Amino acid sequence: MRFKVSQTLFFAAATLVLWTPGYSAERPGLLLSPADVEFIRQFRHESPAFSRVLEETATELDLYFETAPDVPEPVDAGGGYSHETHKRNGIAIHDAGIVYQLTGDETDARNAARLLLSYAEMYPGLGNHPQSRGSNPGRLFWQNLNESVWLTYAIQGFDAIQDTLSTAERDRVVSNLLRPMADFLSEGSPGTFDRIHNHGTWAVAAVGMTGYALDDEDYVRKALYGLTGEGDSGFIRQIDLLFSPDGYYSEGPYYQRYAMMPFLLFARSIEANDPELKIFEHREGILLKAIYACVDLSYAGLFFPLNDAIKDKGLDTVELRYGIAMAYALTGDSTLLSIAGLQSSYVLNGDGFRLARARDQGETSPFDYRSRMFRDGPEGRQGALAVLRSGDFSNEQALVLKATSQGMGHGHFDKLGLLFYDNGNEILTDYGAARFLNVEQKNGGRYLPENETWAKQTVAHNTLVVDETSHFSGRLSIAEQSHPEILFFDSTDEVQIASASMEDAYEDTSFNRTVALLDDLATDNPVMIDVLHASSSSEHQYDLPVHFNGHIVDTSHSLEPRISNLRPLGEANGYQHLWLRASTEVPAGENFSVTWLTENRFYTYTVAAQHDMEVFITELGANDPLFNLRREQALVFRVDSASSNWFVSVFEPHGEYNGSEEYTLNSAGLIEDVRFLREGASDVLGIRTGDGSQSILALSLDSDETTSHTVSLEGRPYSWNGFYAFFGEEFAEERELRD
């Protein structure tokens, strides 16, 4: 089929009548083409890795079909037997079809056919699934989302084997299964199908791919342009609205990965069937940008767990296996081969084969991780996610400043939240989602109540909490009305810096935050600087939670520990889940610091107290009757009552603990003193290390490069133009001259 865009609205559904076996020369016609099949069959020996995946898949299929697979009555929610069995069956139909194409083994074609026929027998009799909740019921599954996913797999399997079916068999599968399901997912579920949302993308992909496989342009048209065909919904509109110009998906990387899958599957099908749509060039190649964004939004192979996110998801997922293969096939970018090296398998199509062969032939080069800003919003005007990286590789330092829009219903109330990674580990952490995906005992595998009471709340994140309430009072409808503004972003050899402001997360308190990675301090590793400024017309309690992963080894101030009676830190908005383990008071003007050990490296977090400050050490787990939460730790820095407050923090990774070789280096940090002062409109941060060297970071928060700023320290003026200046070594030398 060559689908003509201009004729979208004028096509009749008559093409089906014209379908003839002769058409099969173009089958399969979704993600795998006859040319791919020919190419793989001819050159398969050139990629042992791809061959191995193909053979393993074939072996698994033999095992799977050893006895006829069960096609049970749909009764269970996610994680339950019928749910998981149908999922596996859908994938088996897909795999069997593909393996048949690539190996020519007709047993696989028959296995796929038999399973499709079983479903064709059951499907017409299904009403809404008994476990359905809310407005998106499925039939085979508890929600129609899973049904769309199932169909994108099954339709590929069908497409790969349809030429092997008798006319009667094909009719049964088409009339009793594929069309009823595609109809149900489109006209039968308009609320999902026409929604600009990842559930909608799955629906249009399933229906659109079915359209291509059945040569039914009506399905394709609806999928591309919505049920009305007018383009205010459907796939093209989704591409335009769901990604920012930098390829960022507003729900965050975890759902970006998930959302990518139908975009990729359907786009590749469109490319094969309607190449003149130039779908991969749409919006300056936005789909490719989105694939690259997924890689950039990961650390050590796992996604930044922003918003609702299951933390074990990352680049080694089926979505990214499709994505990386597709991106490599389209661009030939050999740095993507290093990402494939993090993946445990290859997709069984032409793209996957090209990727595997290139890796097997040693063409891999390292992915170029670097500091980047990902603007949010369809036009890139709804804040941004700033990613600062130090070092060339994925497992060196990464600092993430979350200044994005809310990200729909899966968004967390964590404006200007911060994440920090080092040495292969998440160090300043984000809880992600409170959910045990597919674990039926845990609320049927769905989101847990604690996702609302804890994971989404502001205190569950590394950002400002005013008066123990969450941003936007924790209300989505309010949160969706505003977003942070990026003030500045820069990346040089010695300083990487990002700054953003949030005006209306609270009724009368605004705050801004500037974070930087400084490479040139007299320390073992780059150091993180964090200046968070809150201001209000009235007095408030300001809390800065710092969630950390590690074992405390030291604190600057002696603690008042709670050793025989633990109470929650607060009553609501997430505070009710924090046990108060210890506290201390830090007078204004002093530094408080805490050192912890994470794996084989030490970390020292130092805060300069502007006002008298309380420090709480907390542990997650209060008001958690069903053990739904992980045991994690947080510091909470609190200023009781102030109309404005600066939280100024310096965070230093240092030293080495080597348990196996029995030595320890630099278990104490090298930073000895952190001073902060506000002069005129400028902030000045001074850091002194143990060897006596001092560094200064000066911030004007004014990005105009032509404006000059001056502050005076110890009677000596420091001048700079623009947003910031870093006085490092030069300053130290100056100081020595004066000594």
CA 603 from chain centre, in angstroms, equals 26
**Binding segment toward a copy of itself, per CB under 8 A, in 40-48, 482-490, 562-570, 691-699:** 562-570
Binder of a copy of itself out of 125, 127, 362, 625 (CB under 8 A): 625
Binding footprint of a copy of itself, residue count (CB under 8 A): 58
* Site membership for a copy of itself, residue 691 (CB under 8 A): no
Which CB sits closer to a copy of itself, 163 or 656? Answer: 656
* Site membership for a copy of itself, residue 663 (CB under 8 A): yes
DSSP letter for 70, please: P
Which ranges of 580-695 would DSSP assign to H, the alpha helix? none
**Binding segment toward a copy of itself, per CB under 8 A, in 31-39, 81-89, 446-454, 462-470:** 81-89
In whole angstroms, the minimum distance from the beta carbon of 721 to a copy of itself comes to 40
* Site membership for a copy of itself, residue 439 (CB under 8 A): yes
In whole angstroms, the minimum distance from the beta carbon of 659 to a copy of itself comes to 4
- Taking Cα atoms as reference points, which of 183, 159, 191 lies closest to residue 19? 159
> Which are the contacts of 727, defined by CB distance < 8 A and separation ≥ 6?
695, 696, 697, 698, 718
Q: Which two tokens stand for residue 94?
A: 């897909």
In whole angstroms, the minimum distance from the beta carbon of 613 to a copy of itself comes to 20
* Site membership for a copy of itself, residue 294 (CB under 8 A): no
- Taking Cα atoms as reference points, which of 462, 481, 613 lies closest to residue 549? 462
* Site membership for a copy of itself, residue 713 (CB under 8 A): no
* Site membership for a copy of itself, residue 300 (CB under 8 A): no
| CA–CA distance, 42 with 50 (Å, rounded to integer) | 13
Binder of a copy of itself out of 561, 587, 680, 692 (CB under 8 A): 561
| CA–CA distance, 212 with 196 (Å, rounded to integer) | 22
| CA–CA distance, 512 with 531 (Å, rounded to integer) | 8
* Site membership for a copy of itself, residue 475 (CB under 8 A): no
Alpha-carbon distance values, 708 to 609, 682, 685, 697, 705 (Å): 29, 11, 18, 15, 8
Mask for 511-550, x = binds a copy of itself (CB under 8 A): ----------------------------------------
Kindly report the number of other CB atoms within 10 A of residue 707's CB atom: 12
Binder of a copy of itself out of 142, 369, 421, 436 (CB under 8 A): 436
In whole angstroms, the minimum distance from the beta carbon of 370 to a copy of itself comes to 26
Binder of a copy of itself out of 28, 74, 79, 653 (CB under 8 A): 79
| CA–CA distance, 545 with 211 (Å, rounded to integer) | 51
Mask for 630-649, x = binds a copy of itself (CB under 8 A): xx------------------
Q: Which two tokens stand for residue 468?
A: 């123990």
Q: Is 424 left (phi over 0), alpha (psi -120 to 50) or beta?
A: left
Which CB sits closer to a copy of itself, 443 or 700? Answer: 443
Kindly report the number of other CB atoms within 10 A of residue 196's CB atom: 17
Binder of a copy of itself out of 166, 477, 564, 706 (CB under 8 A): 564
| CA–CA distance, 536 with 645 (Å, rounded to integer) | 9
Binder of a copy of itself out of 554, 679, 702, 729 (CB under 8 A): 554
* Site membership for a copy of itself, residue 681 (CB under 8 A): no
Contact in structure between 15 and 289 (CB atoms under 8 Å): no
In the three-class reduction of DSSP (H, G, I as helix; E, B as strand; rest coil), residue 356 is classed as helix
**Binding segment toward a copy of itself, per CB under 8 A, in 282-290, 575-583, 672-680, 720-728:** 575-583
Binder of a copy of itself out of 559, 572, 642, 677 (CB under 8 A): 559
Binder of a copy of itself out of 16, 126, 552, 572 (CB under 8 A): 552
Alpha-carbon distance values, 531 to 184, 398, 414, 466 (Å): 53, 17, 16, 16
Which CB sits closer to a copy of itself, 78 or 545? Answer: 78
At residue 577's C-alpha, the angle toward residues 576 and 582, to 5°, is 90
Binder of a copy of itself out of 662, 705, 714, 739 (CB under 8 A): 662
Alpha-carbon distance values, 481 to 382, 416, 500, 502, 558 (Å): 10, 16, 17, 12, 44
Report the chain's terminal Cα–Cα distance, integer Å: 81
In whole angstroms, the minimum distance from the beta carbon of 595 to a copy of itself comes to 7
Q: How large is the angle between the packed helices 144-161 and 81-103, nearest 10 degrees?
A: 20
In whole angstroms, the minimum distance from the beta carbon of 555 to a copy of itself comes to 9
Binder of a copy of itself out of 111, 156, 273, 317 (CB under 8 A): 317
Which CB sits closer to a copy of itself, 485 or 632? Answer: 632
Catalytic sites, residue numbers: 255, 410
In whole angstroms, the minimum distance from the beta carbon of 167 to a copy of itself comes to 35
Phi and psi of 221, rounded to 5°? Answer: -60, -45
* Site membership for a copy of itself, residue 572 (CB under 8 A): no
Burial of 590 (C-beta count, 10 Å sphere; 0-12/13-18/19+): middle
Binder of a copy of itself out of 17, 25, 63, 563 (CB under 8 A): 563
Maximum pairwise Cα distance, the chain: 95
* Site membership for a copy of itself, residue 668 (CB under 8 A): yes
- Taking Cα atoms as reference points, which of 105, 192, 73, 109 lies closest to residue 144? 192
* Site membership for a copy of itself, residue 75 (CB under 8 A): no
Contact in structure between 400 and 304 (CB atoms under 8 Å): yes
* Site membership for a copy of itself, residue 661 (CB under 8 A): yes
User: Which residues of the shown chain bind a copy of itself in the complex (CB under 8 A)?
Assistant: 79, 84, 87-88, 310, 312-314, 316-318, 436-442, 445, 551-554, 559, 561, 563-568, 576, 579, 581-582, 595, 597, 617, 619, 621-627, 630-631, 657, 659-665, 667-668
